[in-house]
Amino acid sequence: MIFIIVVIVFLLDRLTKFFITKNLLVSQSVPLVKGVLYFTLVHNRGAAFGILKNQVPLFILTSAIAVVLIYLNLKRNKKRGLSVYNFSLSLILAGALGNLADRFTLGYVIDFIDLRIWPVFNIADAAITIGAILLGYSILRPTKQGQG
């Protein structure tokens, strides 16, 4: 199940980026819900919020290390099944792979989801963010007596 989640999120990220790049020019914006949600094509050469611009080798290296560590953690914990912990790591892994594929092939990340109150992002970014929130929840939630 973990593998399926990673593949689905990764493919959704790749397909949406392909669709956007074939239909929009850089900086072009199309309203989906006027005043709320737009598709705006951005080439992000930095990290989150565009920080550390043009540090592609650093981003590729750190992303590759993160992917390996998350994969090893999931492999070690596969007997736990689809726990919140494993689900969160699956989302983070898929998102990291999606953005890593962009950086490795293009030298930047394709972003396009524009809420106008937040920096433009993509499906991979959303998966990483949701995964990080769920990971925090799974680590911080109280465990029931008798569970490990």
pLDDT tens digit at each of 148 positions of the chain = 889 999 999 999 999 999 999 999 999 999 999 999 999 999 998 776 666 676 777 878 888 999 999 999 988 887 766 789 999 999 999 999 999 999 999 999 999 999 999 999 999 999 999 999 999 999 898 776 444 4
**Domain residues for 103?**
2-140
Distance set, CA 60 to CA 15, 28, 110 (Å): 21, 27, 15
Residue 76 placed within a domain: yes
Is 102 marked active-site? no
Instruction: Please check whether residue 147 lies inside any domain of the structure.
Output: no
Candidates 13, 102, 111, 114; catalytic one: 111
Please say whether the beta carbons of 119 and 46 come within 8 A.
no
Total domains in the fold of the chain: 1
In a domain, 66, yes or no: yes
From the list 13, 102, 114, 125, the catalytic residue is 125
- Give CA–CA dist 135/87, Å, rounded: 8
d(CA 95, CA 142): 27
Q: Could you tell me the CA-to-CA distances from 87 to 1, 84, 112, 135 in Å, in that order? A: 9, 5, 25, 8
